[in-house]
Structures are given as C-alpha cells and as structure tokens.
Amino acid sequence: MQFKIISSTIIALVALLLFFGIVKMFSGDAATSMTCKLHKNIIRHIPLPGYAEQPLPPECSDDPIEERMEVKELTNNELAHYVVKCWQKAKLGMYGQELICYELYAKTVTGPISESTMTAALDCSIIQNNWLDIEDLSYTGSCGAKNKIMWKMTETIADKTTIILKYNPLANWVEVI
C-alpha cells in the first residue's frame, strides 16, 4: 500500500514538473511567475534532504538589482524618470536596505540639468521633492510637502558624466550623486 502511495506521488510530481517545463517553453514571463510561486509556496516547504534541496531561481528573487546603463542623450525628463523608477524599486520608501538603483553614464546632456529643473519634470504624485538641497531653499513649484530626493551633485551635469541614483533607507530618500 505504501509503495502505491509513494509511486503515485512521484508520478504526480514528475507530471507537474513536465507540465511546467512545457508551459515555460511556450511562454516566458507567465511561466516564470508560475514557477516562482510554485517554488516559494510549495517546493521549499517539502522536507528534502540537503543534497536534494533546490535554491530559489535567480529570476524569482525579490531583491532589486543595480542597473548600469549608457544614456545617449540625458534630459531632465529622462533623469526624473530614473529617479521615479529608483523610488519604485525601493518599494516607495519601504525597502529596508541601502540600494544603488542606477549608474547612468550620460554621453551627452541636453539643456541645463539641476535639481530645480529635474523636479519640474518629476511626477510628484509618486515621489515628492519640496527642498532644493544645493541651493538650500524651498522649491517654488508644487511637488509635495516632503523632501524625498537628496541632490548631492555640486557640479553641473555635463557630457560624459556618471550619475548614481541610490536609495538611502535611513533618511528614506533617493540620492542623486
């Protein structure tokens, strides 16, 4: 009787793995999401000996990663876009660890880019910025009641400049370095 239960369980697991393999072959993102949910909610709770345990696949990790990219033409809108994306990577300020979101290499810079001009292009419904750090004065437009962007670039952003966007969990803001 026990042999029958064990063999049925093994056959069911093999069939399930075969099914997910076929689904993954035909649709990438949906299958990855299904595989991650299966792994997080079922597979890692099955008591297996150490040599048989499977690590969580890298595409299933919840931790955001740093992205390095070259921006051919950096504008205020482009920089504001990456600041918003960094804030979203930091789970809108709820991520509990320091995170370097982006390292942007600006080949060419279009127009003057400062905290004031970037804030004017910012989606303030997602991240607020009411204080201009380098100028040490309040932002004249309306961009919320909190300072969630710390501007640390003392020099003008010029061609061939590297900009780092980092989330600081202790201060709960995005730093532009």
Q: What is the pLDDT of residues 49-97, one digit of tens each?
A: 666 566 666 667 667 788 999 999 999 999 999 999 999 999 999 988 9
What is the model's pLDDT at position 40?
A: 64
Is this model's pTM higher than 0.75 or not? Answer: no
Q: Which residues of the chain have pLDDT under 50?
A: none
What phi, psi does 23 have (nearest 5°)? -65, -40
d(Cα 36, Cα 41) in Å, to the nearest integer? 8
E strand or H helix at 87, and its extent? helix 76-89
Per the structure block, which two tokens stand in for 103? 């390292």
